[in-house]
Structure 1
Amino acid sequence: MLSDKRIILGVTGGIAAYKAAFLLRAFQKAGAEVRVTMTPAAHRFVGVDTFASLSKHPVATHIFPENQAAADSWTQHIEWGEWADLFIIAPCTANTIAKIAGGISDNMLTSTVLAARCPLLICPTMDGEMYRAPAVKRNIQTLRDDGYHILEPEEGYLASGLEGKGRLPETEDILDESSAILTRTVSEGPLSGKKVVVTAGPTREFIDPIRFISNPSSGKMGFAMADAAQQLGGEVTVIHGPVQLPKTEGINYIGITSTADLFEEMKHHADADVIIMAAAVSDFTPADYHGQKVKKDEAKETLHLQSTQDILQWLGQHKQEAQTLIGFAMETEDLVKNARQKLKKKNLDWIIANTISAENVGFESDSNTVTVINKQSTESFAGSKKKIAQKILALIFKA
């Protein structure tokens, strides 16, 4: 999707600005033409000549540069805004984020943002405490509400010497996200014209209005599967439990709370062409629900449970011809053996098995290690959940 595309790369004044040079080269290797615009503060980290030499284009920084005729410069942001297929700001500092959120256009980069006719991808990059600041959170949410794409920063060692969330994502991840954004515009692929339903996140089984039984699922794997399905052209609906994740433009999201809620929604979507059951569904629910908070001194020490509806098995029993049914299995032992039994018992086409026994994978993590299983084969993938989701669907649908 990047071949022959026209890309504006915006660079702001953060220590990660030097990485933008590598990003520029990566876009060029993918076949894109790149022009660079920089904020004045970015010059303190990387020189203009570096980007001019690499891009083979003049670098736009000032609306009225001293060495260029006003007639040639003051409308440059308009011309670039019409020229580009995609505008990426990497790194994007808290200062520039605030300016974009407020519509301020006091340099060439922010002016070009307002003039752009193409999608805008912003890569927030800063110290972890700054990223968690209420004002930054508020501004990023404003950008999302305005329809801009946000690529979350990575966790790790920061320039301050601290560990936290604020690192510029790897070049490959930025290229993947850029390609995905352009793909959404085209909406062509092996899932074009197909309805895809993905479940994600936990369910909650309430004991009383305050207390409930649940699990630590973040919904990240399910949301990644939904994004990957959209990139293949699918018309995607996500049915999700309580999660705190950014939502992708063009995907339909339906929130639920309990397993019973999820079952009711799935009955309405059981005719989808592809069903991906990535939610961590509660297997048990309290046998008795108390309408008022149970007082501590009145509570019984034994909680009686009953089984919830096995939604995946119900879908397997009602599976339609030509429908693709994909399940997930979280195991602590005998991973492949238990997953194969589940595949057969529940009449699945594919099952994605993973374990919580390994470090830095599974619930709440951004990474995972999975084994993709059908009746004939097994294949394992490791990496970020976003990349794994893309590999899973590429394998299943031969993308």
Structure 2
Amino acid sequence: MLSGKRIILGVTGGIAAYKAAILLRAFQKSGADVRVTMTPSATQFVGVETFSALSKHDVAVNIFPENRPTSESWTQHISWGEWADLFVIAPCTANTLAKIAHGISDNMLTATVLAARCPLLLCPTMDGEMYQSPAVQQNLKEVQRHENHLLEPTEGYLASGLEGKGRLPETDDILQKSNSIISKSRTNGPLAGKKVLVTAGPTREHIDPVRFISNPSSGKMGTAMAEAALQMGADVTLIHGPVNIPLPEGIDTVEIESAEELFKQVKDHADADVVIMAAAVSDFRPASYNSQKTKKEDAEFSLGLTQTTDILGWLGRQDLPGQIRIGFAMETENLLENAKTKLNHKNADWIVANSLNGDQSGFESDKNTVHLLGTETEQTFSGTKQDVGREVLEKIFNSQ
């Protein structure tokens, strides 16, 4: 369940802070993208550079850090709060616990807690006598009253030299709890209970057994859309052409090769609540197929072509009640004009348009810049394909 998820890892000033580096790596091995925020006290136990190197993101500590423009820092808690699927604070000291219980936001970590729109998991860690104190017990009740999640500390040998309840839970226990929270949050997503069909990657139209017409589509954008739909609670089927990228866990996949095979599979799954046609489908196929390899000396100097089935157009003509159809348009010129024409002619609800001419877009790129067009909407999204896929679907289904 953590694959493709965005997790903020909060680290506070306790001796168990060093274990947070191990937890970060465990989240990453589970497929999550992790950003770290630390309290100033936490940096006395583990350096910022450690978490920055491991996470490959800047670490957020101060609301107004030195040597950084204010415009780039003071709203970071807002952007991170919107970005995350889960916020885990491990370890969470008694001091930070008290601040969260009473809405105090005097550093980047506590400010981000208030701004977060995702579930919050607290792993309180402190000496046993501190944990059992009436004030801490009251604060634990208070944070749970606000529907936050709590993973109680374990018993054992503590940094003070005493034995008691206050140790940070094992990494596997934190992962299991995080999985459980994410799983429950999916059932409340905007696509919960919906069947979503996504197509991705190229098609191949064979001339003979060893030659074909195709395109450089990597399938990254379509796969990102499938992941985003899964995270929003949908039951997802991904129909994909020949691709060399990892496919998301938790998604039913069907591999095809030609446009005709894709059309057959789309027809079989045409009852989906949402169809996302992100595949780069060949518009033409050879007029004839040679069952044997064509020799050079026997080859014609021209190749006859015929059009393949317009799958998005076919879906539009079926016009199933309540179905939402999202098409893709890739152009080299007149991007918006051509995309708007496609939106109308295909009877689609939305078109996601991007240009091959952009520096941050294209078939093989991990990033993309797209224009989302609806009957009354036009908006641009830029970033990684995972970010763009999620933002596009959030825009569409938050507007329903």
Displacement of 1:183 in angstroms is 3.6
Unaligned runs of 5+ in 1: 37-54, 59-63, 87-116, 121-180
Displacement of 1:297 in angstroms is 1.6
Partner of 1:131: none
Partner of 1:17: 50
Distance 1:241 1:214 in 2: 10
TM-score normalised by length of structure 1: 0.63
CA contact (8 A) 1:197 1:236 kept: yes
CA contact (8 A) 1:195 1:274 kept: yes
Q: Does 1:35 align with 2:35?
A: no
1:109-124 correspondence runs (5 A):
117=176
Amino acid at match of 1:224: A
Displacement of 1:246 in angstroms is 1.2
Distance 2:125 2:255 in 1: 47
CA contact (8 A) 2:201 2:217 kept: yes
Q: What SS does the corresponding residue of 1:207 show, helix, strand or coil?
A: strand
Partner of 2:297: 297
Partner of 2:373: 373
Partner of 1:186: 185
CA contact (8 A) 1:241 1:257 kept: yes
Distance 2:305 2:357 in 1: 26
Distance 2:162 2:295 in 1: 75
Q: What SS does the corresponding residue of 1:265 show, helix, strand or coil?
A: helix
Distance 2:162 2:335 in 1: 67
Does the C-alpha gap of structure 1 residues 270 and 71 become closer, same or farther in structure 2, counting only changes over 3 Å? same
Aligned-residue Cα RMSD (Å) equals 3.8
Q: What SS does the corresponding residue of 2:170 show, helix, strand or coil?
A: helix
Partner of 2:65: none
Unaligned runs of 5+ in 2: 1-5, 12-18, 26-47, 62-75, 82-86, 93-122, 127-155
Distance 1:3 1:368 in 2: 24
Partner of 1:340: 340
Displacement of 1:301 in angstroms is 1.1
Displacement of 1:17 in angstroms is 2.6
Displacement of 1:381 in angstroms is 1.0
CA contact (8 A) 1:9 1:34 kept: no
CA contact (8 A) 2:240 2:279 kept: yes
Does the C-alpha gap of structure 1 residues 385 and 67 become closer, same or farther in structure 2, counting only changes over 3 Å? closer
Does the C-alpha gap of structure 1 residues 226 and 182 become closer, same or farther in structure 2, counting only changes over 3 Å? farther
1:1-399 correspondence runs (5 A):
9-10=21-22, 17-19=50-52, 23=59, 32-35=88-91, 79-81=169-171, 83-84=173-174, 86=175, 117=176, 183-184=182-183, 186-187=185-186, 188-398=188-398
Distance 2:308 2:172 in 1: 54
- For residues 163-198 of structure 1, the C-alpha deviation after alignment (integer angstroms, 9 at most, x for no partner) is xxxxxxxxxxxxxxxxxx954553221111000000
- For residues 143-176 of structure 1, the C-alpha deviation after alignment (integer angstroms, 9 at most, x for no partner) is xxxxxxxxxxxxxxxxxxxxxxxxxxxxxxxxxx
CA contact (8 A) 2:274 2:325 kept: yes
Distance 1:333 1:219 in 2: 22
Does the C-alpha gap of structure 1 residues 118 and 298 become closer, same or farther in structure 2, counting only changes over 3 Å? farther
The structure with more radius of gyration: 2
Distance 1:366 1:289 in 2: 35
- For residues 328-363 of structure 1, the C-alpha deviation after alignment (integer angstroms, 9 at most, x for no partner) is 001111111111111111100000111001123111
Amino acid at match of 1:225: M
Q: Identity over the aligned pairs, expressed in percent?
A: 43
Amino acid at match of 2:185: V
Distance 2:247 2:164 in 1: 40
Amino acid at match of 1:351: I
Q: What SS does the corresponding residue of 2:369 show, helix, strand or coil?
A: strand
Does the C-alpha gap of structure 1 residues 369 and 376 become closer, same or farther in structure 2, counting only changes over 3 Å? same
